[in-house]
Amino acid sequence: MEGGVNESLITEVAKTKEEGTLKDRVWTEWKKMWIVAGPAIFTRFSTFGVSIISQAFIGHIGATELAAFALVSTVLLRFGNGVLLGMSSALGTLCGQSYGAKQYEMLGVHLQRSWLILFISSIALLPIFIFTSPILKALGQEEAIAEVAETISLWIIPGLFSFVLSYTCQMFLQAQSKNMIIAYLAGFSLAIHGFLSWLLTVKYKFGLSGAMLSTILALWIPNIGQLIYIFGGWFPETWKGFSMLVFKDLWPIIKLSLSSGLMLCLELWYNTILVLLTGSMEKAEIAIDALSICLNISGWIMMISLGFMAAASVRVSNELGRGSSRAAKFSIVQIVLTSFAIGFVLFIIFLFLRGRLAYIFTESTEVAAAVADLSPLLACSILLNSIQPVLSGVAVGAGWQSTVAYVNIACYYLIGIPVGVFLGYVCQLQVTGVWIGMLFGTLTQTIVLLIITYKTDWEKQVWIAKQRISNWSLESDQQDVGDEQNA
């Protein structure tokens, strides 16, 4: 008994010496965090910038076109985007934990499985983009806006399929902390998009068609570069070529992908409902334009938090796969505090900027005034969004997607939306009341996720990760195939 205790103490001392002082641990984790978060933030800024540039050029074409693009991007595209991004986060869980456990060959197999699942999901989403006009009219949108929105949504279909490759390749590369190439490609694509948008809409006056053509090209350029990088021999350990094992044991991965998709969709659809509720209020066009500008600014700032979300997912999954609960907890604390500090600074800045940024997107003084009225809510949204996505990243790294989906349903749809409808329609606060209710739901969700993360038994999470890796290891799959052939 005494020998076992002494051995345990020696092990703990050895771990402490290996990790060094608190200062050394903080610095080491800081570097690991920014290796993922830095490129991820830049990539998301650039990718979101594609939408911002498109909206800026379309906004100067006309108010109806701007409102239609806002509806497509914040309702339909966000819907499809949420499904695919959420489902691809399952790949982040699997690749991150497999990489931490040094099951390198499984990363390529997981990537191919995710391609198959997401491609089928994209086909299932097509009717939403094909029948945009009747869908929006049924939801109470103005006929003129719905007609233009249908034209935009048909243009955006190739962009929907671009997300299949974009998100999955990013998860594959991020799990290995090799995502600088993603940032380079995203920056190059953004520059090309800015030039083409000016060339096609201003120089040659192609209007809406020119802006959408430039948008599609900007979405596909990074995918081509990422595929060349993966297939070109730079990943000899994690990419072994195409394998028939992709079709083996798909159902458990489909279930994880569906729960991942539901988790993120419930978050993204939350803001979508805000836009839809606004569409039936007084002066709908001005309200939608002002709200879409605020949501785009909030969304752009949120790219910072999504970068930290990626870092949290990678660091937690890698450490759980490696078997270190202590390192996983240390990563969570450092990433949450860093993201919150940045969010607090931005909260202060946007409290004072108010409606000045609106003129980037519109020339209407009415829309700018409406944006100014919403600015305090925008600042609060930015502050909350500095924490909530990071906690979602922790959930992805640990594989808690199903649990977080239930939390989202309760906080967003049973609390946030009813409160927003009551304040907006019953109390006649209009879009301000709706947004206050939605923020209340986000605050509730953030508090619940903080409690769950704090009370989690991380040693148990290490055991669960090991079981998951063991069940889906390449050796296990090959053994199953061999048994079937022998039978």
pLDDT in tens, 148-200: 999 999 999 999 999 999 999 999 999 998 889 999 999 999 999 999 999 99
pLDDT of 484: 43
**Total length of the chain:** 487
Give the C-alpha distances (Å, rounded to integers) separating 447 from 39, 308, 339, 391, 440: 28, 18, 16, 10, 11
Over the stretch 103-140, which tens digit does the pLDDT of each residue have? 888 899 999 999 999 999 999 999 999 998 898 888 77
Over the stretch 312-329, which tens digit does the pLDDT of each residue have? 999 999 999 988 889 999
pLDDT of 273: 73
Contact by Cβ (8 Å): 378, 354: no
Residue 74 pLDDT > 80: no
Over the stretch 441-478, which tens digit does the pLDDT of each residue have? 889 999 999 999 999 999 999 998 888 887 766 555 45
Element (H, E) at 7: helix 2-19
Distance CA 325, CA 313 (A): 14
User: What mean pLDDT is predicted for residues 331-355?
Assistant: 88
